[in-house]
Structure 1
């Protein structure tokens, strides 16, 4: 009897939730946050991004349009996360609680329109660690697979001890954590030529993952299920420098028990690296069982043909099918 091939699963796709923006529209702090975002991106990027997002609103909000696009891409299942613009890590506790509740409920409602093809992730207010466990539990109670988090919150890195209860609950529950940066703290240095994204996003991924590795979070919580967007940024392909520092310097090696490169095989990474050679190196560094198909649907920095981009890496057939869907299907079944 011939085994059925695994479904094609895209773990990096977004939904836009206008009700969240309506909720925060009159809240103190929003204008300041928007001004910071504008400074970090620069006027030229904002002039392009506005119309780009408007053109993609149907794919971000209409399930029928989403499913048609998935069919055209050959994608069977999407793991849908809110647009990172909905993080609103500037918000006070009361507002943050309303944001995560609305995000979780709205994302679950979107996915419920096609439950055999759409799985969802909610949000956690990282700026208020005391709310993080409740936010995760709320997401899981809506039938979501886990939550999406950024690379940091204002004044807090992911290595902050205040997040320990959140990591413990995520590990215990088997929730999927999707690490997707929004914004870059290099600020105006990246305010031209869309460097805020092309350099900023992979930098933020590398910094966040390094905090999780070097602080010992992954030693204390080896069962975490964490997917890093954008192939984990610069870290997987430049991990040798981290290994050297860990071996050569007492300060670098003080917080984690093993070579930094060994932790790549405890993490998951999406395939969205825009270069078949980099994708091959990511698979080599992390293992074919740790890389998952990702498209960033439907944004312009995504892959319009994610399966084609994966095929261009010319992986062995078993590895190709693992990344195409078998790895993610196993995670979602476990969830």
Structure 2
């Protein structure tokens, strides 16, 4: 029997979360920062794009119809990264993650055989993250989605150690999906905030996990990197060279950086069949998963066709199409 086709990179929009934070102190400043980072041209395109896709982002029937059209059997649904709201204080952050977890659960429960969900944790408040992860798992979600950093904190921050330990202990899936880029106004034209910013943030975040030894201390972590892990997998040779040539680069992790790619998972959303093949080469066919960024315009409306274009072996194609995700999403 062939495995179901599973898309691990699909989003849900949660208007109730946005209603919760609307008008709170800090909200206007966060929106202004996002506007500066993206630039006016991108914002002018984003509004109509979201409105056109709103039914697929919120209505289960519209989502399932679109999935049928794509030949996708199951989606792993995560909140839109716009819902992170890492600017919020502890009290509001707790309300955000609880509401996001519960709303995502409700969305997925309308089609439990086809939709599995991920929740949120407040990356800006490490002391709350274990509780937030436990809350997500108690709702029946498979894990949580996190960004590449929080204000003033990289993923290598020691304050996150209890969270990594709990995630490894529970087998929770951690979906690493950046939102925003600290290069700020340098990327505010031509949608560079996304086309350059997202893969940069992925590469930086994964490098922090690797070089700091997080993956050594917590080998059981199940991390899926969106957008194929950004620039890191195709440029990992430079990291390997630095680890071998420089004492400061090699001090934090026990093994060659490229070896850790085989401990991570990567979605296939790279918009280039040659890069899909390279992902399979450096990470292994068992570590690449189908992803579409459903239903945003920077995704693909034909994830299976995009994967087929990579001309993988038939065994590798079916592993990426759904076999790997079937094993990963299975609850022990």
Query: Taking structure 1 as the reference length, what is the TM-score of the superposition?
Result: 0.99
Partners of 1:115 and 1:313 in 2: CA distance: 31
Q: What is the match of residue 34 of structure 1?
A: 31
Of the three residues 235, 240, 257, the one matched with 1:238 is 235
Unaligned runs of 5+ in 2: none
Q: Map residues 1-335 of structure 1 onto 2, 5 A cutoff.
A: 4-334=1-331
Aligned partner of residue 147 in structure 1, secondary structure: strand
Unaligned runs of 5+ in 1: none
Partners of 1:281 and 1:334 in 2: CA distance: 30
Partners of 2:205 and 2:47 in 1: CA distance: 27
Following superposition, the deviation at residue 333 of structure 1 comes to 1.0
Partners of 1:97 and 1:334 in 2: CA distance: 26
Partners of 1:50 and 1:283 in 2: CA distance: 36
Aligned partner of residue 138 in structure 1, secondary structure: helix
Partners of 2:308 and 2:255 in 1: CA distance: 33
Partners of 1:313 and 1:332 in 2: CA distance: 24
Partners of 2:168 and 2:326 in 1: CA distance: 19
Deviations 1:216-257 (A, max 9, x none): 000000000000000000000000000000000000000000
Partners of 2:32 and 2:189 in 1: CA distance: 16
Deviations 1:41-88 (A, max 9, x none): 000000001110111000000000000000000000000000000000
Aligned partner of residue 79 in structure 1, secondary structure: strand
Following superposition, the deviation at residue 187 of structure 1 comes to 0.3
Partners of 1:221 and 1:205 in 2: CA distance: 19
Partners of 1:119 and 1:27 in 2: CA distance: 31
Structure 1 runs (4+) greater than 4 angstroms displaced: none
- In the alignment of these two chains, the number of paired residues is 332
Partners of 1:186 and 1:101 in 2: CA distance: 31
Following superposition, the deviation at residue 145 of structure 1 comes to 0.3
Following superposition, the deviation at residue 334 of structure 1 comes to 3.4
Partners of 1:329 and 1:244 in 2: CA distance: 35
Partners of 1:94 and 1:288 in 2: CA distance: 43
What value does the CA root-mean-square deviation take over the aligned residues?
0.5
Deviations 1:154-187 (A, max 9, x none): 0000000000000000000000000000000000
